[in-house]
Structure 1
């Protein structure tokens, strides 16, 4: 069987001249045989003989052809074999019963033969559809490119329905891929209800095309648009179930291909990240030793230009923190970092971070607001120290010189929130969580030095300690009291 051919529809042939001619010929032959053998055959045998054309006509031509043959056979039985012969009169009551039984049997046999014929052709069509679907599944299984799968499925469906086929998504509908309002409504109805709509269906049959939905991913439904340009439905009624099954198989193949593509993309990114983290770790280790030597040497130099020396030491400290961020990020990406959660006093943690950044914070007002009844929190002291340093340094970078840095620790029921705020331009209107990605920097990054790793380290350490961090704009951004605020949230399980 050619995989491109679709089996013909199961239809009962139209009753016409050929049916009458065939019935006359077959019934005439049976009648002639009965006349020739009348001396040896009983009336019952002749009646059975005349049933043969009825069975043949019903099997070959359908119910109405069988009934036509039954009426002709009834006429011949009465006219040629039931006394008085060669008339339509019936002399004996038992012959009336014979005629009644004959017509009843003839009609029953005709109906059964027609039903058997219909079931046989229906079974043949179902078997052929199963072969077509199996062949389609096998062909799609050998394709891994979603574009090739779509094209192969579109070409097969076009051959099987005899029309044009294209696939649509909700995004395509939003972009105006379907122009006519009624077709637009039918397409959206099909996606929302997961059923057929449009021409040839019960929903909006006035549309120019038929729309059948099929699922690609768990939360993604596509549409198959069928268009024929004629009066007949684009998808014949008897083929609708077959087309749905073909779409389901195509959806499964696309699901597999899209998942494989996404997995390949994830693996490629993971390999890229692993290579980058390895490189970062290697570079960081190579830089740490000479940087330590430089810092030690700066501490022993005596110079009259104390400002230049302090500036050099400050930049060396900043470079040391940057390398520390690289190392911390590399450790987080490789083994998650060794976490040792112990009770920590946030007042001491804030003081330690401010002391480490005293050179950077010189000339800036500090607003420290820590609740008196603040409980101890469970955290890794080293990680929390680096988180605070990165948040405070980030606030200094993205706010005007001389503006205040606000640090607050609040008790909220059994939870604690530690926040660092600035009075700069705030954060972009896009998703604030993107700021915590590696090498992601704010809107003023072209004027601000840095590597884009500080907030990534904050997010990584928070995840390692099962804490939550977020960022938001203070209102009004850029005005008095404006800027950005970054918060570390300690859950109830992380308080003492």
Structure 2
């Protein structure tokens, strides 16, 4: 058990005090002719002050009493006797004891105040250090480990945190180093359940389980009790417990706020994901009810015409209807591909199957799939003849080009030009698609790559707002970038530029 300096100084302090007075007496006896009795009595105040500051009232009063005896025995006539020749020395002794006692009390009180200030400073430093450690932590497991270890290091005691599981039963989630056996004691979980249910502290120095060697503090905020902090305080004396409980409660309050913050952040993430999923579901339903309806109606109309008008349509008309059917099916396939691609991206299931490919092959496949959709638009392809092969997922990159070129077709007038340029730029391949459409406002050039975003100028044109978002995810998965800019030749239109690394 610890022995507080304020009330119960140990025997060593009394021994040192006695030795101090013996040495002072020897010194004064050796130089007795240089001091009068008044000076000698004042010098005996020093052991009193030293003992009061160092150990408290007990040793200081002992120093005062022993100092009076030494002064009387060695210096007051008749010397080497506790009797006095002049009764006025009795008054001197009384005054000395009163002054020494008062001085000792004041010095001891100042020392106590200094020690209290040191404790408060240490507590504040501990709280500040914990707040700095946990401010930027967003992972709950890491947060709990930091808290218990900091509490353990600050209090030099074992610590553990219990949190309720889905059934509301307390479980040990984190404990300090070398505290596994102590933390796994079933008694902790039982007490923690009671503390959490009643939101009340229990353990040594409290009204409940006051003789226990542990302290259980609820980790509570205004909203709820998040868990319980358990600390092994040992057999510390009860007079020390109020101050210790205050610092543990302060640490637990800070920990509770941090746990609440992380939980709220996790709930916000879940809510955001739920909202995104709901938005995606709504977009899927909208796409199925609107975007698929047009090509389905085209296909049904063309097929019905072929079946019902077998004797009416000539070979050229039949070909026209079949081309219309193929265009509608291609549009449906592209739409479904975009929807499935976004689902794979959102679920984290998109995987790249990179191979060394020539960009001219990817461009050729994309254009061949879109030739029926051009509607008198002119496509110009300018590829650097010395372009090296590029490591990419050919299927996914074809989907990127299909989406970008489809947008160029959708938002540019018939008879306009769509130009594709590819060139090597250092260690990267730069591929640009330029159209002669209405252009994109500066404020929308980054937002068009967000899921479901449709600019005000294009809301009247059918679309889901997923195509460019998918392109951005695929291109960035390849280590590249995709941007939208205005044309630099002074003409109206948009330039979508892809930049891809030439090495894996």
| RMSD, aligned CA | 3.8
Displacement of 1:129: 2.5
Alignment match, 1:113: 107
Using the alignment, how far apart are the partners of 1:54 and 1:235 within structure 2? 26
Give 1:267's aligned residue.
Answer: 272
Q: CA deviation at 1:185?
A: 6.5
Distance between the aligned counterparts of 1:206 and 1:180, measured in 2?
17
| 1:167 match | 161
User: What is the aligned partner in structure 2 of residue 240 from structure 1?
Assistant: 245
1:203 counterpart SS class: coil
Query: Structure 2: how far apart are the matches of 1:172 and 1:80?
Result: 80
Match of 1:276 in 2: 281
CA deviations over 1:361-399 (Å, ceiling 9, x no partner): xxxxxxxxxxxxxxxxxxxxxxxxxxxxxxxxxxxxxxx
Q: Cα gap change, 1:260/1:162 in structure 2, threshold over 3 Å: closer, same or farther?
A: same
Three-state SS of the structure 1 residue aligned to 2:142 is helix
Is 1:210 matched up with 2:215?
yes
Other-structure match for 2:206: 201
* Preserved CA contact (<8 Å) 2:162 2:189: no
- Shift in alpha-carbon separation, 1:128–1:199, aligned structure 2, 3 A: closer
Gaps of 5+ in 2: 173-183, 305-504
Matched, 1:123 2:117: yes
Alignment map for 1:79-98 (pairs within 5 Å): 79-98=73-92
Q: How does 1:454-469 map to 2 (within 5 A)?
A: none
- Give the direction of change, closer, same or farther, for the CA distance of 1:51–1:241 in structure 2 (3 Å limit): same
Matches of 1:42 and 1:121 in 2, distance apart? 38
CA distance, structure 1, for counterparts of residue 156 and residue 144 of structure 2: 17
Q: Supply the distance in 1 between the matched residues of 2:170 and 2:254 (Cα, whole angstroms).
A: 27
Question: Residue 256 of structure 2: which of 251, 267, 272 is its match?
Answer: 251
Cα shift readout 1:23-49 (whole Å, capped 9, x = no counterpart):
233223333444455445443322111
The change in CA–CA distance for 1:172 and 1:101 in structure 2 (over 3 A counts) is farther
Greater shift, 16-25 or 76-85, is seen at 16-25
Contact 1:169–1:221 (Cα < 8 Å) also in 2? yes
Q: In 2 relative to 1, CA 25–183 (structure 1 residues): closer, same or farther, beyond 3 Å?
A: closer
Higher relative contact order (CA 8 A, sep 6+): 1
Structure 1 position 69, deviation (Å) = 1.4
1:100 CA displacement: 0.3
TM-score between the two structures when normalised by the length of structure 1:
0.50
Within-5 A mapping of 1:447-458: none
C-alpha separation in 1, matches of 2:116 and 2:281:
62
- Mean Cα deviation higher: 55-64 or 171-180: 171-180
User: What's the TM-score once normalised by structure 2's chain length?
Assistant: 0.50
Q: Secondary structure at the match of 1:159?
A: helix
Aligned-pair distance for 1:152? 0.9
SS in 1 for 2:49: helix
Is the Cα contact below 8 Å between 1:186 and 1:204 reproduced in 2?
no
Partners of 1:105 and 1:254 lie apart in 2 by: 56
Give me the whole-angstrom Cα distance separating, in 1, the residues matched to 2:4 and 2:236.
17
Matches within 5 A, 1:133-152: 133-152=127-146
Residue 13 of structure 2 is matched in structure 1 by: 19
Q: 1:38 to 1:166 in 2, by over 3 A?
A: closer
Q: Per-residue deviation at 1:10?
A: 6.4
CA distance 1:164–1:87, shift in 2 (3 Å): closer
Unaligned runs of 5+ in 1: 1-7, 299-496
Q: Is the 8 A contact 1:165 1:226 kept in 2?
A: yes
Which residue matches 1:43? 37
Q: SS state of the match for residue 58, structure 2?
A: helix
Q: How does 1:386-401 map to 2 (within 5 A)?
A: none
